[in-house]
Amino acid sequence: MASSRPLRSFQTLLTISLFFLSLALTFLALLSVKPKPHYSTSLQPNPSHGWFDIVAEMVDTQKIRIGLVNVDDDIKSVTYGLAETVSVDFEPVSKEKKWEDFFPEWIDEHHKWGRPRCPEIPMPRLEDYLGLDVIVARVPCGEGKTEKEGIRNVWRLQVNLVVANLVVANGWVQKAAETERTVYVVFMGSCGPMQEIFRCDDLLTRIGDYWVYKPELRKLKQKMLMPVGSCQIAPPYAAEKGQEIWKRRIIPTLKVRLNHTAYQRVAYVTVLHSSEAYVCGAIALAQSIIQTKSTKDLVLLHDSSITSKSLRGLRAAGWKTRLIEPIRSPSARRGSYNEWNYSKLRVWQLTDYDKVIFIDADIIVLKNLDKFFVYPQLSASANDKVLFNSGIMVIEPSKCTFEDLMSKTYKLASYNGGDQGFLNEAFTWWHRLPSKLNHLKVFNIKGNPNHEIPDDLYTIHLLGLKPWMCYRDYDCNWDMLARHIFASDSAHRRWWHVYEAMPKKLQKYCGLTRQMELRIRKWRGIAKKANLSDGHWKINAIDPRKHLLI
């Protein structure tokens, strides 16, 4: 038993040191309530994952660091050669949140009741996941089994945004703000990522259900600075809560780059198809843009229904004209007014421009729009429900986007058979521009009996009968009770202001035809018989075009 004392004291020492060690460990564990991500190492290659070889060839580092987003556990444990993997942790967006919460029909643009804010979409702590070379993500197609059901799915949006934010945070090198690191993304799943966020131009290869992307960092960065939905007006560059980690690093340079749009090739674009009914509208549109002192290119796409005489007028008005094959809308009836409305898709073929602002020919511009070229695709003003109005859109032409859209024309149904319905299915994730950028001339709320338009508008979108189809004396939508919602003499006058300032030889393209004149008279007669209380039918019209029918 003589030896028992030193043994016991050794045991005591051991116990005490173990106690202190565990205390220290507990303390450490307490300190890091949020554990640092744990990188798994010493991995084995897996030949069944073809994307890995592709990425391994491209990534120029000894050891590839891979972030896994929404990857199932069985795949998480799959191991690769010289690679480290880390599973990216984030809280799934609440199931209560619906697409309509992020794309509400109406928002308080003028902040009468406080600045509108978007609901949260939780993001990972980006600073915990820096130094990644590749992000591997399983993108959901949405709850529904079909593409249609999945396109407005908040969980799908969240996964896409998580990946995009990781790419930006990892691609941006802090010390040298002007340098960028390449970050690759591999999406797994039959539907691929949201094309609104990950451009098809950045798709390197697709092998079965693996989609390998090399995102263009600057473009992705700008999109991640946009609000998460149309729940807020998109500022030219924006920042959302929870993205502070790279907001601090990005914004100063982003500002400089975005304000400096001179390097971009930009143009205003419109499309004329099916008939000559909008030739005058397009001439007035070009002139209105020029009257706002814009010097950007004006490009007009037209089909063969536009005569060479009209083309001369359109060119004299400022348009560079280009002949296109019209595109039929698959759901429109033959001979219907919107049969060829998908011709608008040809705007994506204008790849000699980086960005264009598309404008319908029944719009006039009142204030210079050049500053809106900084916005990313697809930026537009709201229409109704979760939809944007396709009358003015910021678009980035791209060959593969055009092909992608064409391939979808039979898959995605348009709610109205027109381009607007289709484009709203193809671009469900869009950025909201102020409504005064594309002011829809429609009056469906009371309290404005004369239908006065606000005076700070950028444009007027002339819904209903067009001003050049009426006498200049008044808006002939007044003559039809069913069109009263479109009637506005103040909007009408604004269009005729543009007309007055046009050269005489262009005004000639806005004459009245016999047919137009007969239609105006017919409805004036009907309005008189009905004794319409607005009394516009009583106006003694002195429009000289009445006597110079074309």
Binding site for ligand NAG (CB under 6 A): 337-338, 341, 416-420, 531, 533
Residue number, 288 or 341, with CB nearest to ligand NAG: 341
Contact (CB, 8 A) for 526 and 481: no
Tokens 């671009």 sit at which residue? 427
Residue number, 195 or 341, with CB nearest to ligand NAG: 341
Residue number, 10 or 337, with CB nearest to ligand NAG: 337
Phi and psi, residue 120, nearest 5°: -70, 140
C-alpha torsion 222→225→226→232, nearest 10: -160
Residue number, 196 or 419, with CB nearest to ligand NAG: 419
C-alpha gyration radius of the chain: 30
For the bound state, the minimum distance from the C-beta of residue 205 to ligand NAG, rounded and expressed in Å, comes to 36
For the bound state, the minimum distance from the C-beta of residue 274 to ligand NAG, rounded and expressed in Å, comes to 6
For the bound state, the minimum distance from the C-beta of residue 529 to ligand NAG, rounded and expressed in Å, comes to 9
Instruction: Name the burial class of residue 315, with classes exposed (0-12), middle (13-18) and buried (19+) by CB atoms within 10 angstroms of its CB.
Output: middle
Phi and psi, residue 7, nearest 5°: -65, -45
For the bound state, the minimum distance from the C-beta of residue 338 to ligand NAG, rounded and expressed in Å, comes to 4
Instruction: Name the burial class of residue 180, with classes exposed (0-12), middle (13-18) and buried (19+) by CB atoms within 10 angstroms of its CB.
Output: middle
Residue number, 88 or 271, with CB nearest to ligand NAG: 271
For the bound state, the minimum distance from the C-beta of residue 84 to ligand NAG, rounded and expressed in Å, comes to 51
Report the alpha-carbon distance of residue 536 to residue 517 in Å, rounded. Answer: 16
Residue number, 288 or 389, with CB nearest to ligand NAG: 389
For the bound state, the minimum distance from the C-beta of residue 273 to ligand NAG, rounded and expressed in Å, comes to 7
Residue number, 170 or 341, with CB nearest to ligand NAG: 341
DSSP 228: S
Q: Strand, helix or coil at 272?
A: strand
For the bound state, the minimum distance from the C-beta of residue 430 to ligand NAG, rounded and expressed in Å, comes to 17
Residue number, 238 or 380, with CB nearest to ligand NAG: 380
For the bound state, the minimum distance from the C-beta of residue 383 to ligand NAG, rounded and expressed in Å, comes to 11
- Please measure the distance between the N-terminal and C-terminal CA atoms of the chain and give it in whole angstroms: 126
CA distances from 74 to 54, 77, 470 (A): 22, 6, 69
Residue number, 98 or 408, with CB nearest to ligand NAG: 408
| Residue spans of beta strands (DSSP E) within 112-202 | 134-138, 184-188
For the bound state, the minimum distance from the C-beta of residue 184 to ligand NAG, rounded and expressed in Å, comes to 39
Phi and psi, residue 369, nearest 5°: -105, 0
Contact (CB, 8 A) for 234 and 227: yes
Tokens 């040809």 sit at which residue? 346
Residue number, 419 or 517, with CB nearest to ligand NAG: 419
CA distances from 6 to 10, 13, 15, 56, 197 (A): 6, 10, 14, 58, 70
For the bound state, the minimum distance from the C-beta of residue 60 to ligand NAG, rounded and expressed in Å, comes to 49
Contact (CB, 8 A) for 184 and 135: yes
Q: Strand, helix or coil at 270?
A: strand
Q: Which residue in the shown chain puts its C-beta closest to ligand NAG?
A: 418
